[in-house]
Amino acid sequence: MQEYVPGLAGIPAARSKISYLDGQKGILEYRGIRIDILAEKSSFVETAYLLLFEKLPTRPALEKFSQDIIAHRKIKYRITDLMKYLPEHGHPMDALQAAVAALGMFYPAKDVLNPQVQYDSVVRLVAKLPTIIAAFVRLRRGDDHILPREDLGHAANFLYMLTGKVPEPMMAEILDVCLILHAEHTMNASTFSGRVTASTLADAYTVVSSAIGTLMGPLHGGASEEVVTMLREIGTAANVRPYISKKLTGHQKIMGLGHREYKVKDPRAIILQKLAQQLFAKYGRSPLYEIAEEIERIGAELLSTKGVYPNVDFYSGTVYEKLGIEPDLFTPVFAMGRVVGWLAHWLEQLKDNELVRPTQIYEGTHDQTYVPIEKRN
């Protein structure tokens, strides 16, 4: 009798050298380098190179990779036209998935084992996701989308395309760190989805589109948006304890608390909380952050024995909000960072590919009689 493990919890689905986490000690590493070190010393583009190409780049290699990304930031007008016809009230994640899937039609990349095709696909996807997101947001308001600038960094250019204003350096730097934190996280749901798609030898655009679809759910990338909704619903720090008590009594999930892997505070949440504090010190404290702090305090009091602590989604929303990013963009911004991890796993899957085809435990009946329609009850 085969054992059924709900959600494939703890079941290895691949051998990987991309990232590592220890949920008991709160450790996350990209290619062996701890996330706190990368957040302090690296940039998103450099971290992307590390994840994709298995080592930190030399200065010339980083310069070439950066320039290649900059050169591919623009999107074709037909992609823009496609987004113009999408419902303005639709979620940006749906628009992002549609646009990414369409990219594959404009940049045929079916020869997925060709190194040049792989590189071109990687560069285009990393470069164009921010442009697609910013363009859709402006188009749904009835505004023209803003062309990317070649003189701005990855995060700064996104904020510029979103608002039409060059962001203050601190804001761009903080968003850059956020993208590093979201770039990769072992075999999460969207990465697994992407690897399953990759195992069929689908192109990178299809792989990323499938991963985006998986990221949409509130139990994965959509949780950061749900956290801000929860904070606004609570309203004040004084309301936190009764809110949590009601949730616990009803056996309901508290968004942003708990993680399948971490039994201590998510190391990314620790970094995000510091980023939030830096932002608030310069631009003013958010009332939502005070509520979040109170949730963490009461959560530690009531749930620490169960290993339930803040995860990456808990503080990310308060940071994004202070950066002027709308709540329904939180998950697309997550995707802007995570696309690097998805693509790293795509490349890794192709190196020693085996079609992913799990089995099932059948619990239905056998040898049923076919009943003609006129005799059915």
Domain ranges of the chain: 33-216+330-351, 223-322
pLDDT for the residue numbered 120: 98
- 145, 176, 313, 345: which one is catalytic? 313
pLDDT for the residue numbered 220: 80
- Give this prediction's pTM: 0.94
Residue 39's closest CA among 50, 47, 48, 51?
Answer: 47
Pairing relationship of beta strands 27-30 and 33-34 according to DSSP bridges: antiparallel
Asked if 310 and 301 touch (Cβ cutoff 8 Å), the reply is no
pLDDT for the residue numbered 222: 75
User: Which residues of the chain are modeled with pLDDT < 50?
Assistant: none
CA separation for the pair 110, 315 (Å, rounded): 39
DSSP 3-state of 141: coil
Please name the residue that has the structure tokens 């999107």: 75
Is residue 21 within a helix (H) or strand (E), and if so which, with residue range? strand 19-22
Domains 33-216+330-351 and 223-322 share a fold: no
Residue 129's closest CA among 163, 161, 89?
Answer: 161
Structure token digits, residue 40? 């302090």
Backbone angles phi and psi of 26, in degrees to 5: 70, 45
Q: Is 68 a catalytic residue?
A: no
Q: How far is CA 168 from CA 282, 323, 324, in A?
A: 11, 10, 12
pLDDT for the residue numbered 1: 55
DSSP 3-state of 30: strand
Arch. (CATH architecture) of 223-322: Orthogonal Bundle (1.10)
Query: Could you confirm whether domain 33-216+330-351 is CATH 1.10.580.10?
Result: yes
Using the Cα atoms of residue 318, residue 319, residue 322 and residue 323 in order, give the sign of their dihedral.
negative
Backbone angles phi and psi of 41, in degrees to 5: -115, -20
CB atoms within 10 A of CB 61: 14
Asked if 123 and 72 touch (Cβ cutoff 8 Å), the reply is yes
pLDDT for the residue numbered 57: 98
pLDDT for the residue numbered 286: 84
- 259, 266, 328, 345: which one is catalytic? 259
CA separation for the pair 42, 7 (Å, rounded): 34
- Give the chain's largest Cα–Cα span: 77
Q: Is 313 a catalytic residue?
A: yes
DSSP 3-state of 4: coil
The Cα angle at residue 335 between residues 40 and 108, in degrees rounded to 5? 120
Asked if 23 and 318 touch (Cβ cutoff 8 Å), the reply is no
Q: How far is CA 177 from CA 5, 141, 305, in A?
A: 35, 28, 31
pLDDT for the residue numbered 225: 85
pLDDT tens profile 152-178? 999 999 999 999 999 999 999 999 999
pLDDT for the residue numbered 18: 98
Q: How far is CA 25 from CA 41, 302, 352, in A?
A: 22, 20, 31
First to last CA, the chain: 35
pLDDT for the residue numbered 258: 87
